[in-house]
């Protein structure tokens, strides 16, 4: 494993969608929401706010 490459982990996945995170070499964690051919990238604070928004859908 290259220490200059992020360590990635799939959080959730369906046939068309995927959410994964990357622990970056600089210590930052980024989250990635793939919706078919669109990918949205989030830093930790943005991800936390996005999750709070989604919880309001209930």
Per-residue pLDDT of 18-58, as tens digits, reads 999 999 999 999 999 999 999 999 999 999 999 999 999 97
In a domain, 18, yes or no: yes
Banded model confidence at residue 2, pLDDT cuts 50, 70, 90? confident
Classify residue 23: in a domain, yes or no: yes
Helix spans in 1-58 (H): 44-55
- Does pLDDT of 8 surpass 70? yes
* Number of compact structural domains in the chain: 1
User: Is residue 2 in some structural domain?
Assistant: no
In a domain, 31, yes or no: yes
Q: How many whole angstroms separate alpha carbon 44 and alpha carbon 30?
A: 6
1 falls within a domain: no
Specify if 14 maps to a domain.
Answer: yes
Give the model's pLDDT for residue 28.
Answer: 96
35 in any annotated domain: yes
DSSP type of residue 45: H
Residue 13 located in a structural domain: yes
| 42 neighbors 34 (Cβ within 8 angstroms) | no
At residue 1 the predicted structure's pLDDT band, cuts being 50, 70 and 90, is low
For 7-13, the CB contacts below 8 A with 24+ separation are none
């Amino acid at each position: 494993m290259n220490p200059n490459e992020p360590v990635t982990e799939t959080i959730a996945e369906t046939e068309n969608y995927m959410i994964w995170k990357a622990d970056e070499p600089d210590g930052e964690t980024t989250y990635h929401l793939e919706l078919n051919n669109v990918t949205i990238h989030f830093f930790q604070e943005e991800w936390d706010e996005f999750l709070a928004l989604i919880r309001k859908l209930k």
